[in-house]
Structure 1
Amino acid sequence: MDVSRIPAGRRLGVAAVGCACALALGTGCSGSGVPVSVAEERKVPKATSDLQDDYQKVIRDVLPSVVQIQARDDLGSGVVYDDDGHIVTNAHVVGREKTFQVTTAGNESPQAARLVYAYPEQDLAVIKLDRVPDGLRAAEFGDSSKVDVGQIVLAMGSPLGLSSSVTQGIVSATGRTVSEGRTGGATGATISNMIQTSAAINPGNSGGALVNLDSRVIGIPTLTATDPGGSGDAAPGIGFAIPASTVRTIADQIIEDGRVTDSGRAALGITGRTVIDDQYRPNGVAVVEVARGGAAAEAGIRAGDVIVRLGDSDITTITSLAEALAALKPGDRTKVTFTRDGDERTVEVTLGEQ
């Protein structure tokens, strides 16, 4: 599946839009063209009223913990992680910048913040406010392992620069492994165990909050699917969020150690590139360099070999190799099939850590 990172949003104006009412029976209008109040026709069902109350409570609970991040001319979102002013967001939101302006709930004046550490491999970053404003509220993160398909979720952030915006949808799939491109500031990360959602996610939502009805952040919106027809436009209703468990693992290490010390990401220990066949079709990953002492080196894989299979997964591109590795953990043993001088060989590899 083609996916793209959510680009940072830009400020824009919003125009009010009117609506017309057709003069026809059964359209909700009186014969004179005066709209008939829906409330006069029927009461709101209790279940609907209760659900609305749930939405509004979640918004009151969580929205104050969602901030807007400005890096130069671009805007993104972030989530207040703790009471010390740490904010978690996407690595592609911070880009190469080191300082930021952050607008928090209840504070019209932007607050200065600095980068603590960015980890592009997982498209996560932590920044820290220079001064913690009064009333700053840290979000509560939920257990993303308990996320179920069909669960109602809200996405909160600053789509298109419109701060404190909320959209609604459901969890439409779990356990997705998706890869970003490398254009427009994207990190090229391959991320496993992503949460797929139908909640509308637009430019500027990156780094915000995907929230359940218990007011817990279960993910950080990061990617949208792109139209497979090649237009490059976002496919509506298909977005992806990094699960809260991954966010907590990475953010805790960054806050405590200033960097990621245990990624939990499996690695072969090679530098590779996609190769194509005579029909210009991707046909495997050529090993350009082998890290000394790495998993591939220990298994006897050499520069010039072309990897065509990892475990049960056929490998045709560097992205497919990254996605196959994303499903595994450091220390796992798996088989790697490659070609060398026209011969196909298979070796067993104990994976290292990225």
Structure 2
Amino acid sequence: MNDTTSLASLSSAITNVVARAAPAIVSVHSHRLRATGFVWKKGLVITAEEALADEGEVSIRLPDGSVQQATIAGRDHTTDVALLRVDTGSIPPITLSQQVPALGTLCVVAAAEHGVPTAALGTVSLVGKPWRSLRGGEIDARIELDVRLRHGHQGGLALNATGEAIGMAVLGPRRVLVIPSATIERVASRLETHGRIGRGYLGVGLQPVKLDDGIGAMVMSLDGEGPSAAAGIRQGDIIVAWNDQKLSGVRALLQALGPESIGSVVDVAVRRAGEPARFKVTIGERREA
């Protein structure tokens, strides 16, 4: 097989990959923002939360050119996943693959521009372990792409060379990230059922303080009806440990208050006027603003 034939075969394979995914890819218009989305289930579209306006109507342009009004079923800014309810008609939903691609894998981002399909070819430039976003979301794998991604193409599907949808392409700080399928399925399922992702709540306002033997978090404000107050913690207490683990910082403590923390009982060690004390705190659920 000569070079020309090899390139033609590669081009044809990429064309087929995009053609199979394109029927499920839609354009999302909210206020003045545009994004891409894909049909996850009948009547449900997933898009990038950060590319979705905070208010106003949301419309979806389907592959056939028709426009449907959508409602927000739920959104999670920590994982960049938003779920929209819309009449998707007979569009077949995308099947997400749980596979994490190997480093160097060819990857196509299939998106839409005003309802017209678009495609961008690149490679998987980094594959890493599960990580936590700057907003505290649990992402099941670190996947970065060497590909050009326009703002309106956020929410597009990242497809591997065999056409499997490995996740959703979004713009991260100075790089293109893939929100993996495992994260999307976990978050979208909860949004579909509950409309939101619950977060743990201690009911305290904290300020980091340096101690002779490490770092603490001083309770600067206290919700009188919150979990910490109910357990006996007072304003001015300094939290020094959490379940017998020395505190590494306020941010680490707050990041431990994920959805899975709600209802759990934690052992909180504090210093009160220089004296040690311990409290059992049942983590509550943060109320919506």
TM-score when normalising by structure 2: 0.73
**Cα 1:166–1:273 shift into 2, 3 Å:** farther
What 5-or-longer segments of structure 2 have no aligned partner? none
2:195 aligned partner: 259
1:173 to 128, 137, 151: 128
**SS, match of residue 63 in structure 2:** coil
1:8 aligned partner: none
**SS, match of residue 165 in structure 1:** strand
Q: Distance in 2 between matches of 1:126 and 1:322?
A: 25
Residue 114 (str. 1) matches residue 71 (str. 2)? yes
**Cα 1:266–1:327 shift into 2, 3 Å:** closer
Matches within 5 A, 1:183-332: 190-200=137-147, 201-225=149-173, 234=174, 238-255=175-192, 257=193, 259-260=195-196, 263=197, 267-275=200-208, 284=217, 286=219, 288-290=221-223, 292=225, 294=227, 296=228, 300-307=232-239, 309-310=241-242, 312=245, 314-317=247-250, 319-326=251-258, 329-330=261-262
Q: Distance in 1 between matches of 2:220 and 2:268?
A: 12
**SS, match of residue 41 in structure 2:** coil
Shift of 1:245: 2.5
Aligned partners of 2:219 and 2:234 also within 8 Å: no
Q: Give the greater-gyration-radius structure (CA).
A: 1
Residue 99 (str. 1) matches residue 57 (str. 2)? yes
Aligned partners of 1:157 and 1:208 also within 8 Å: yes
Identity %: 17
Shift of 1:79: 1.4
**SS, match of residue 79 in structure 1:** strand
**SS, match of residue 138 in structure 1:** coil
1:70 to 8, 29, 36: 29
- Which deviations, in whole Å up to 9, do the C-alpha atoms of 1:66-86 show, x marking residues without a partner? 2221111111121111233x1
Aligned partners of 2:133 and 2:139 also within 8 Å: yes
- Which deviations, in whole Å up to 9, do the C-alpha atoms of 1:186-215 show, x marking residues without a partner? xxx534434321243442333222233343
**Cα 1:94–1:61 shift into 2, 3 Å:** same
Shift of 1:132: 3.5
**SS, match of residue 164 in structure 1:** strand
- Which deviations, in whole Å up to 9, do the C-alpha atoms of 1:76-127 show, x marking residues without a partner? 121111233x1112333333325222222232x4332222233445443221
More strand by share: 2
**SS, match of residue 68 in structure 1:** strand
Matched pairs, number: 279
Q: Distance in 2 between matches of 1:112 and 1:334?
A: 45
Q: Distance in 2 between matches of 1:314 and 1:159?
A: 47
Give the residue type in structure 2 aligned to 1:132: T
Shift of 1:220: 2.5
Shift of 1:50: 5.5
What 5-or-longer segments of structure 1 have no aligned partner? 1-38, 181-188, 226-233
**Cα 1:344–1:55 shift into 2, 3 Å:** farther
Q: Distance in 2 between matches of 1:332 and 1:148?
A: 35
Aligned partners of 2:199 and 2:258 also within 8 Å: yes
**Cα 1:314–1:43 shift into 2, 3 Å:** same
Residue 140 (str. 1) matches residue 95 (str. 2)? yes
Aligned partners of 1:75 and 1:161 also within 8 Å: no
**Cα 1:330–1:254 shift into 2, 3 Å:** closer
Shift of 1:288: 2.7
Aligned partners of 1:305 and 1:339 also within 8 Å: yes
